[in-house]
Amino acid sequence: MFTGVYNFIYFLISLTVSHSQITRLYSRFTSLDKGENGTLCREDFQRIPELAINPLGDRIINTFFPEGEDQVNFRGFMRTLAHFRPIDDHEKNKDPNVSEPLNSRNNKLLFAFRLYDLDKDDKISRDELLQVLRMMVGVNISDDQLGSIADRTIQEADQDGDSCISFTEFIKVNFYTSP
């Protein structure tokens, strides 16, 4: 059951920073950019049909846009996508002074964590969890049931008793190994 999770960590989309990949992504970028001004706005993303029916569509779109901005250029586009690059073994021997590369395991998990945590307080509260559950489950399930699932989830993960899931608890309960 961890292969899915490990695949995420070692990432699914093998976007190596190879020339061909960059070219491909650039052509995708330009095809999405209907206004042809070198940047993407939110509507450009929303035009992708599959993203519209994805429960996490909005959140994913939001990750591309840094705080407060409405436009993202190709560099920002690549920067977000670089989170999903495979962890390169050569990078392990890099100079420790350099800050951790974007696609290290920790950062990937942080990326996922931030998608849950909307108010950016580094904790997943019950309400945030409820929102995520509601998105994934649809409209037919009652609030009570979702509430009990959320409660149980928090209770399984929560170790310091604050009824929220912090990043360390998140890692521990989902991956069973320390990062």
Partner 1 sequence: MPVRDLLSTSSKLSPFQPRYEHLLLLVCVLGTVLPLGVDCNPSAENHQINGTQKKSFPVLSFDYLHVRLPFEIALWILLASLMKLGFHLIPRLSNIVPESCLLIVVGLLVGGLIKVVGEAPPVLDSKVFFLCLLPPIILDAGYFLPIRAFSENTGTILMFAVIGTLWNSFFMGGMLYAVCQIPGTGLENVGLLPSLLFGSIISAVDPVAVLAVFEEIHINELLHILVFGESLLNDAVTVVLYHLFEEYAGVGSVTFMDVLLGVICFLVVSLGGVFMGILYGLIAAFTSRFTSHTRVIEPLFVFLYSYMAYLSAEVFHLSGIMALIACGVVMRPYVEANISQKSHTTIKYFLKMWSSVSETLIFIFLGVSTVAGPHQWNWIFVGCTLLFCLVSRVLGVIGLTSIINKFRIVKLTTKDQFIIAYGGLRGAIAFSLGFLLDKHHFPMRDMFLTAIITVIFFTVFVQGMTIRPLVELLAVKKKQETKRSINEEIHTQFLDHLLTGIEDVCGHYGHHHWKDKLSRFNKKYIKKCLIAGERSKEPQLIAFYHKMEMKQAIELVESGGIPKIPSAVSTVSMQNIKPKRALPQLSKGKEEEIRNILRSNLQRTRQRLRSYNRHTLMADPYEDAWNQMLIRRQKARQLEKRMTNYLTVPANHPDSPTMMRSRLSSDPQGYSLKLNSGNVPAIVVDPATPQSPESMKLQEESSKPGEEDQGIVMRAKLPESSRTDDNVFTPGEDSPKEQRLIRCLSDPGPPPEEEKDDEYQAFLN
The footprint of partner 1 (CB under 8 A) covers 1-8, 10-15, 25, 28, 31, 45, 48, 50-51, 53-57, 60, 64, 81, 84, 86, 112, 115-116, 132-133, 136-138, 140-141, 144-145, 147-149, 151-153, 155-157, 163, 173-174, 176
Phi, psi of 178 (to 5 degrees): -75, 145
Distances (CA, A) of 72 to 40, 67, 77, 123: 5, 11, 6, 27
- Our CB check for partner 1 shows the closer of 76 and 99 to be 76
Shortest Å distance, C-beta 4 to partner 1: 5
Shortest Å distance, C-beta 97 to partner 1: 28
Shortest Å distance, C-beta 122 to partner 1: 17
Greatest pairwise CA separation for the chain in angstroms: 52
Shortest Å distance, C-beta 121 to partner 1: 19
Place of tokens 């920073």: 17
The contacts of residue 132 (CB under 8 Å, 6+ apart) are 116
* Token pair listed for 12: 């699914």
- Our CB check for partner 1 shows the closer of 60 and 101 to be 60
- Our CB check for partner 1 shows the closer of 147 and 179 to be 147
Distances (CA, A) of 137 to 29, 53, 86, 141: 31, 13, 30, 7
- Our CB check for partner 1 shows the closer of 29 and 96 to be 29
